A and B are shown apart, each in its own frame.
Chain A
Amino acid sequence: MSTMQSLDVTRRSATTRPSPSVRETEEVAKLIDISKCIGCKACQAACYEWNDLRDEIGVHVGVYDNPHDLTENSWTLMRFTEVEEEEGKLEWLIRKDGCMHCADPGCLKACPAPGAIVQYSNGIVDFISENCIGCGYCVKGCPFNIPRISKKDQKAYKCTLCSDRVSVGLEPACAKACPTQAISFGTKSDMVEFAQTRIADLNERGYDKAGLYDPPGVGGTHVMYVLQHADRPELYAGLPKDPKISPLVEAWKGAAKPLALVGLGLTALFGFLHYVTGGPNEVEETDEEQAKKTIDERGDGRGGR
């Protein structure tokens, strides 16, 4: 999405030319403390406002998640999960879903379009939409199932971590809007340190498995969670326990990608695209699945999975 000139790109998709890198910035991170989140959706509203996006006014399908999934216009979403592992100990876990800004981004690795996906030195992974060819490889490459392809312009969209705000010294819009400071923003090292104080507080309150979600399988992320049950991230609307870039993407990167790049692979590309959009879903089944099924059955579901 970024339209700003970047002097600090560390990686560009499908390109071997060196990236602009004269400026080096400190790594940033957004820390989402789920134990402080009240599911008010102010972050969602702020995201629509700042990015000038508006989704469709949908329907209610039996869950508080609205819209029901990420879309090209909804880059973040509260996912609500009722968990009762122990009789009488109900928890309503509310997770703000959106791009995790992986240190080792599967989307960027999978992307065949030169410079359509970049990573800045501060860690933000951004889509440069004008370079996007709408192939959808980023969707398959993402272990968190985040990017969505617009039906209108066939380009991929996702959270930018407000790269435009961050580049001028502001926090992301969602962090600004959060009334309970469940979303913090700062340097990654500060956020990791701050998370430890929150984890200590949760330990005192009886959550002895509280911890930080910063999964090493993708090199760590620039969006991290404080979880009450860090041993079981899947409780939080299917947050993957050990996310990794799909082996298919790794294979594609090794073999198929050069083919596409030399322009021979249009057919193969569409074949792959079909696989991406219609193929098996890596993200584990969650409570939301039932809801989405319901929408799909009603015929007004939107794509994405």
Chain B
Amino acid sequence: MTNTWADIKNTNLVVIMGGNAAEAHPCGFKWVTEAKAHNKAKLIVVDPRFTRSAAVSDLYVPIRAGSDIAWLGGLINYLLTNDKIQHEYVKAYTNASFIVKAGFAFSDGLFTGYDVQKRDYDRSSWSYEIGEDGYARVDETLQDPRCVFQLMKAHYTRYTAEMVERICGSPKDKLVQAWEWIAETSAPDRVMTSMYALGWTQHSKGSQNIRTMAMVQLLLGNIGVAGGGMNALRGHSNIQGLTDLGLMSNLIPGYMTLPGEEEISKAIYLKPRGFKPLRPGQLSYWQNYPKFFVSFLKSMYGKEATADNDFRYDWLPKLDLAYDVLRMFELMHRGSINGYFCQGFNPLMAFPNKKKLVNGLSKLKFLVVMDPLATETASFWENHGQYNDVDPAQIQTEVFRLPTTCFAEEDGSLTNSGRWLQWHWKGADGPGESRSDIVIMSDLFLRLRELYRKEGGAFPDPILGLHWPYKLTEAPSPEEIAREINGYAVEDIPDPKDASVVLMRAGQQLDGFAQLRDDGKTACGCWIYSGCFTEKGNQMARRDNSDPYDSGLAPNWAWAWPVNRRILYNRASCDANGKPWNPRHKIIEWNGKSWVGADVPDYPPAMKPEAGMDPFIMNAEGVARLFTLGLMKDGPFPEHYEPFEAPIANPLHPKVNANPVARVFQGDLEVFGTADDYPLVATTYRLTEHFHYWSKHCRINAILQPQQFVEIGEALAKAKGINNGDMIKVRSNRGQIIAVAVVTKRIRPLNVDGKVIHTVGIPIHWGFTGLTKKGFGANILTPYVGDANIETPEYKAFLVDIERATPSV
């Protein structure tokens, strides 16, 4: 979230699209009800289904799954043609005025530079024109036909309300009503919040779904302000922490990237990460990358990391490929992986095309599963009849189950959607032989290190040299790890102005990342978390819920990254002179000497407004990007592409139907289905009563939602002769599931491109372990393709057909 949960109460308009907050985030949804009850806010829900969020909405707009960019592109067109944007904001705080290089263009569904063989772009033309002064050229009048504003306007003229209705199936009257309400928030004192989740990410163009709404929010001036923002609702209690700490195959903590194999030295690695300002007077905070990076290497390798040896840059793994989960299972499937350590993850249910997953797991020599529960993945080799029809005799994979404690059985912190790191304390000891993940991993590490010490090996150095400073070698405490993540001075740091004054003593905890250095004198495990555990103690454990400005920010409750800031980009809540756009909900303001207010300013605290530094200080431009240069693989402006399995040809450009740069493996392409065989649009989702595949192990959750079902509309049910409560088969080109039919008014046929399109809704929570009735993984049906940028699988839009199951089932 750019903003924070309780801040939602400050909004005038909530748009839930690409998510279902009432069902999937019921506790956070309370802030929507607060906004409605106390701020007269309205709620719009855009969803293929009339959800429990829609049940309490002021306006519900149906949409075909997988057509969000068309809907939002139409909204951009509506805002621009009706002149409903916040002009001052757009001109001063976005790159609307920046001139794009000659040569960049878009036609017939493709941007400049497409290579059909590689299924990728040469993105060199997707950039700014650089003037003789070395800075990007701009046209403050926004009239230059090559400026971002004009290019954007031209790009979205194709997205008329009629075209959107044709692609999305949203009735035009409802569509336009929603757009009108949204457009009202272009007024400086009106604001809209966007709440989204997997309904946007789980598409082959998921990142661009979110980008499109971010553009809308920028055009409306709704980023950085109270009650505004782009608010990703995270599905696991600590999934925000997972990405923050770099638990992606290509990341290291704090959104730094793991080097590629061609980056053979630290200098080569850092060269493209210089982040030189693209406009005069801009901060471009990522210029400090070397400080974050060297401090990270110091926390990894301690004394071993010195300036002379490039801080052991050589010891970091180098990527030859992106090893995302889809790739790993593809490699497993091809038989090129021997062992798999599966920690806190149930991929047999969570990743697409179950058949392929079972096949991959069956080719392993060993599988280690660390989990508090008996997951399906740990039991993939067991035969559970139709629910997991495998032959154990044919599977030679040796499976080790290492039971772990769950979150309530250990101390630690969880990072919520609002970026709050909240410390929690153990409530009980774990049962039986369970051990914490930290203890299991430490044990494994110490045994490996011992083996390397005794036997050597191809490259033992990074293991033997790993910094391991914990009091109990075999059981580092969560506090020790938190302190290491926060960072500390490695040696005494003298004041550069007066060497007799010591700024920080060796071993002293850092106050924040501003103290990080690139000379090896500081160590920090995750720069954005620096400040969470200072000399003042564990800031994450703070529990003072006072809220002096009644802003919903509660600055002394837990700790938010970065530097306890609750609303990102909050400098943009004020105009160029430092006056709040909306005096009723001000966050910070310039008082003549400094920036003050309810939140920690996202800006140098004493920087005068007249100095001309723009609010988006992380960006080299100083402003937010309506045009993303080459940062997104599939285009600098979001474009509507159909899902890989789509019921129609793309009306905008039938020759480029789906995302042209999304990666598709051989073998997966062949099992995509077509609308001729599978005419129904399917979408998967979660229910309030369950949490992924965990809570089916809990009795009460199992009582509340005991058995798998599939939702279909009344018209489709009638056409197929299906009654409410019948068992039905749902088939895709990859497999079939059988479940109870819920025949409902809440799913309507949509008129899409002249065809009547039906939607089939498939909740995901059932499997073959747990207390609920056994069920089929919804991933038996889903296609094996991910988002072009981050490989999140396309669970939200694919094709199926249905029929009544025989009564005997």
Contacts and interface: CB of A to CB of B under 8 A. Distances in A.
Interface stretch (A86-94, A120-128, A149-157, A266-274): A86-94
B773 A41 contact: no
A249 to B, nearest CB: 32
A84 B54 CA distance: 14
A81 B672 CA distance: 37
A62 B704 contact: no
Nearest to B775: A60
A226 to B, nearest CB: 12
Contacts of B772: 57
A48 B703 contact: yes
A40 B56 contact: no
Contact of A62 (B55, B705, B741): B741
Interface in B701-737: 701-709, 724-725
Contacts of B171: 88
B23 A90 contact: no
B26 interface: yes
B56 A35 contact: yes
- Most chain A CB within 10 A, of B27, B171, B689, is at B689
A189 interface: no
B45 to A, nearest CB: 11
Interface in B34-58: 36-37, 40, 50, 52-56, 58
Contacts of B705: 60, 64, 66
B745 interface: yes
Max chain B C-beta neighbours (<10 A), residue from A39, A44, A82, A84:
A39
A34 B54 CA distance: 14
Contacts, number: 124
Nearest to A294: B725
Contact of A48 (B53, B689, B700, B724): B700
Given A40-B22, A62-B709, A205-B58, A90 B50 contact: yes
Given A40-B22, A59-B773, A62-B741, A45 B704 contact: yes
Interface string B568-585: 000000000000000000
A61 B741 CA distance: 8
B27 A179 contact: yes
B688 A38 contact: yes
Contacts of B702: 57
Interface string A178-198: 011110000000000000001
A42 interface: yes
A15 B30 CA distance: 46
B54 A92 contact: yes
A92 B746 contact: yes
B709 A60 contact: yes
Nearest to A205: B58
Given A41-B689, A62-B724, A62-B725, A55 B703 contact: yes
Interface in B289-333: none
A261 interface: no
A36 B26 CA distance: 12
Contacts of A102: none
A42 B704 CA distance: 10
Given A179-B30, A205-B58, A38 B22 contact: yes
Given A39-B52, A41-B704, A56-B703, A61 B725 contact: yes
Interface bin, chain B: 35 or more
A44 B704 contact: yes
Contact of B33 (A57, A66, A88, A181): A181
B688 A91 contact: no
A84 B746 CA distance: 10
A90 B713 CA distance: 13
Given A62-B709, A62-B743, A54 B703 contact: yes
A201 interface: yes
A58 interface: yes
A49 interface: yes
Interface in A65-108: 66-67, 74, 82, 84, 88, 90-94
B704 A92 contact: no
B78 interface: no
B29 interface: yes
Nearest to B37: A201
Contacts of B746: 82, 90, 92
B717 to A, nearest CB: 10
Contacts of B700: 45, 48-49, 54
A62 B27 CA distance: 26
Interface in A277-305: 290-291, 294
A248 interface: no
A277 B332 CA distance: 61
Interface of A: 35-42, 44-45, 48-49, 54-64, 66-67, 74, 82, 84, 88, 90-94, 179-182, 198, 201, 204-205, 290-291, 294
30 contacts: A36-B37, A38-B26, A39-B55, A49-B700, A54-B700, A55-B703, A57-B702, A57-B706, A58-B703, A58-B707, A60-B705, A60-B708, A62-B740, A62-B743, A63-B742, A64-B742, A66-B703, A66-B705, A66-B706, A88-B171, A90-B60, A92-B52, A93-B55, A179-B26, A179-B29, A179-B30, A180-B30, A198-B37, A201-B37, A290-B724
The 6 closest A-B pairs by CB, nearest first: A62-B725, A62-B724, A60-B707, A38-B22, A92-B55, A40-B26
Given A60-B708, A294-B724, 15 more contacts: A38-B26, A57-B703, A60-B707, A60-B742, A63-B742, A64-B705, A66-B703, A66-B705, A82-B745, A84-B745, A93-B55, A179-B29, A180-B29, A180-B30, A291-B724
